[in-house]
Amino acid sequence: MSVEITTGPPEVRVPASTAVTDTRSTAEAVLTSRMGATVRLADPEDLGGSERSAVMRVRVAETPFELPRTLVVKHYGAREESQRCDPFAHEAASCQLATALPPEIRVGPELIAQDSDQRLLVLEDLGRGSTLADVLFADDPRVAERSLLAWARALGRLHTTMAGREADFDALMRRLGANSWTDPVADDIRRSLSELPELLEQSMGLSTPDAMADRLEGAAQLLGPTKYRSFSPSDVCPDNSLVTGNGVRFLDFEWGCVRDIALDAAYLQFPFPSSWCSYAMPENLAESMLATWRSEVVEVWPDLDDDEVLRPRLLDAQMLWVWVSTWWYLPRSGQTDMPIDAHMPSPRRSTALADRWQRLRADAEAAGIDEVGEYADRMVNALVERFGSGALELRPYPAFR
């Protein structure tokens, strides 16, 4: 089953995948070839996936070698010629890079086997724990707070343990035959910088002053080479973050890349801008999450302990996320205001956008960047004029209601 998507982040989800039988038999063949002896898999359990891949949990029913009792298999469909980025190559290279780390500091699943011709990965099964999305949509605020802090710590640990690995990642991607391995969100951001001003003029009657455009161009330096680069899953959203007894583990690396860590850290300032799961959090919790992440990354980048270094970078990243998410979610001519993802319990697009512009307004004003604060204020007013005052009412995650 597919859905019609006009704009939005690359990780838009669709209902559960279907190719369960073929995936199991292909995985058996891949493991048998790798082990040199017959491996049989049983009891396939569909874990969903996306329109790009089928994902299943399987039990190892027969093997002469030591393997975990259960495994997770991810089977990608053929890559379309129109795709600039190959999600299989991104995930395979990312899992290889992460698996090279010692188990005690690994923040993703171990790669057990892969086959590039079959476009299949066999991964460690991290268990049946709750995702961060499950926790946020439950009813225990203490568990939700602990899980969000664990998520922030895991993100910081990922950045520190994977720093300096860009050449390794590039080599793995080349070995997989990938033609491009840049951050797909960076491509969207660059496109939004050129396209959103006209869209805002047409749909909102809102012009973009030169001062705001200059600020955005300056912030876009985060998309190029910087001294604060590390590996990123790119899609560090709640439904791709598993809460385990050993901390949070990240699950999905289809858009794994190397980029400036501020683009991930901005997720700590306002909730998950590329995700359907984007509700409000308690204000003090966002600062606690940032402090937790920061305590990890200063081991590699000690100057980020200085607010004068870190805060401007976070504000630049926040501006880019607000800008590209407006390009993704703002209803075009003839479109209605709808949830971010019609298949998920998402907020309405106008409500999510109004909240992001309000936060940007407050943060820019606090930093004394008047041109950004004034423009954000105009944007909030324009959203209210078009969609009504209800656009200002982003509710907290259910766990905090």
Q: Which of 65, 98, 124 lies at the terminal end of a domain, its last residue?
A: 124
Assess whether 152 and 65 both reside in one domain.
no
Q: Which residues contact 362 (CB under 8 A, 6 or more apart)?
A: none
Asked, for residue 13, whether it belongs to a domain, the answer is: no
Predicted local distance difference test score (pLDDT) of residue 34? 87
* Count of domains for the chain: 2
Q: What pLDDT is attached to residue 15?
A: 36
Report pLDDT for 226: 95
User: Residue 81's pLDDT is what?
Assistant: 65
**In-domain check, residue 381:** yes
Task: Looking at the structure, tell me whether residues 143 and 272 fall in a common domain.
Answer: yes
CATH number for position 56:
3.30.200.20
d(CA 275, CA 151): 15
Side chain identity, residue 208: T
Note whether residue 2 is domain-resident.
no
Does residue 169 belong to any structural domain of this protein?
A: yes
Q: What is the CATH number of the domain that holds 286?
A: 3.90.1200.10
What's the CA gap between 214 and 332, in Å, rounded?
25
- In-domain check, residue 77: yes
18 secondary structure, DSSP code:
-
**Other residues' Cβ atoms within 10 Å of the Cβ of residue 84:** 9
Q: In the listed set 71, 103, 124, which residue is the last one of a domain according to the structure?
A: 124
Q: Residue 232's beta-bridge partner residues?
A: 257
Same domain, 150 and 221: yes
Q: What mean pLDDT value characterizes the chain?
A: 89
For residue 4, the model assigns a pLDDT of 37
Q: Which of 256, 138, 192 is nearest to 7 (CA)?
A: 192
Q: Is 82 exposed, middle or buried (0-12, 13-18, 19+ CB in 10 A)?
A: exposed
136 and 120 both lie in a single domain: no
Q: Considering the domain boundaries, does residue 12 fall inside one? A: no
Q: Let me know if residue 29 belongs to a domain.
A: yes
Backbone angles phi, psi at 260, to 5 degrees: -65, 135
User: What element of type H or E holds 75?
Assistant: strand 70-76
204 shares a domain with 79: no
Q: Is residue 5 part of a domain?
A: no
146 and 284, same structural domain? yes
* SS3 state at 216: helix
Among 124, 157, 181, give the residue marking a domain's end: 124
pLDDT at 63: 86
Q: Are strands 53-62 and 70-76 parallel, antiparallel or unpaired?
A: antiparallel
> Is there a single domain that holds both residue 88 and residue 150?
no
Do 248 and 355 lie in a common domain? yes
Do 184 and 71 lie in one domain? The reply is no
Distances (CA, A) of 264 to 69, 154, 155, 258: 34, 12, 8, 11
Q: Which residues of the chain have pLDDT under 50?
A: 1-5, 12-20
Residue 17 pLDDT: 39
Residue 313's pLDDT is 97
Place of tokens 């590209």: 324
Q: Provide the residue range defining the domain that includes 305.
A: 132-400
Cα–Cα distance for residue pair 244/308, rounded to 1 Å: 35
pLDDT at 14: 37
**Checking phi first, is residue 129 left (phi over 0); if not, alpha (psi -120 to 50) or beta?**
beta
Q: What is the predicted pLDDT for the residue at 175?
A: 93
Q: Is 160 in the same domain as 117?
A: no
Residues 146, 77 share a domain: no
Q: What does the alpha-carbon distance between residue 237 and residue 274 come to, in Å, rounded to a whole number?
A: 8
Q: Are residues 268 and 352 in the same domain?
A: yes
Alpha carbon dihedral 154, 159, 160, 163, in 10-degree steps, equals 150
